[in-house]
Amino acid sequence: MSRAQGPISGEKGAVRRIRLAFGVAMLGAVGFAVTYSLGGNTQLLGISLGIAFAGLAYGLAAWGRRLLPTGGYVEEMPELSAPPRRRDLLAEAMNGPESPLGRRGLMGMLMLGVGSIGVALLFPLRSLLSFRKPDPVTILRHTAWEPGVRLVTPEGTPVRLTDVGPETIQIVVPEGHTRDGDAPAFLVRLDPERLRRQPAAGRAGDVVAYSLLCTHAGCPVALYEQTTARMLCPCHQSAFDLNRDAAPIAGPAARALPGLPIEVDADGFLRARGDFTSPPGAGFWSYP
């Protein structure tokens, strides 16, 4: 009796392990989809996808090793046309309850595992679709500066017109977007009589605002030469003449620093009147 039950018991155990492996594959696929939906941590995405494929691979390998016929066989060349009785027996063997393809619902579990992985892999397609959000080019062309947005320091302190000193610059960012990499700007006081070109973005009294990002490679142009009213980029030595509307006068930069239109509100705080006059940062893509 034990000899007869041994293979059957082993087969049942193999079926349970295979079903468990396909279940693990489904859980890994669900984990991948959930992780992507919550923000897409790359480590968790890789782990969950690895678990899904590992479960699927183990299940298929165990299925082929433990449930399908194995070993070497020698068979005479079959007849060109099998007898009807033989065809019926073959169809019954392949479609019956003990078929290696449909045994104990394994085919259904396999399809669920493969299908769940396929559905999970569709989730990243969301990154390629806008879903009513601006397309990437539109996002690059515009920043968080909008009419009425208050100018604040990187620490979040609102800036008044009187806070801008005569010999240095004041770095500012849009309120509520202090960490946006494309939004930093600087304020500086210029002598209106020395201006050779009026700022395209206008000015608030003798204070003007420009993007802090160099138009060559996007480095901060935080070196101000007050005597010549020039901004210098320490990365590749580009120089911009603020008296000529921040036009490039040296170095590899070929485009002027974008201006930021500003105004003073009723409480004396500086606010933006709109976005930069042109996209900020490196000029490696087309501009309108």
What are the respective helix, strand and coil percentages of the chain, to the nearest 5? 40, 15, 45
pLDDT of residue 135: 63
Q: How confident is the model at residue 133 (pLDDT cuts 50, 70, 90)?
A: low
Quick one: CA torsion of 147, 149, 151, 155, rounded to 10 degrees?
Answer: -160
CA angle 284, 287, 288 (to 5 degrees): 170
CATH of domain 135-288: 2.102.10.10
Rounded Cα–Cα distance for residues 2 and 9 (Å): 10
Cβ-proximal residues to 207 (8 Å cutoff; 6+ apart), any chain = 161, 164, 187, 188, 189, 190, 262, 270
Over 70: is that where the pLDDT of 226 sits? yes
How confident is the model over 26-37, as pLDDT tens digits? 998 898 888 888
Over 50: is that where the pLDDT of 149 sits? yes
Over 50: is that where the pLDDT of 1 sits? no
Residue ranges of the domains in the chain?
Answer: 2-129, 135-288
* Residue type at 187 in one-letter notation: L
Rounded Cα–Cα distance for residues 258 and 280 (Å): 6
Nearest 5°: phi and psi at 253?
Answer: -65, 135
Rounded Cα–Cα distance for residues 172 and 283 (Å): 22
Q: Report the chain's mean pLDDT, rounded to a whole number.
A: 83
**CB burial class (10 A; 0-12, 13-18, 19+) of residue 208?**
buried
Rounded Cα–Cα distance for residues 241 and 222 (Å): 14
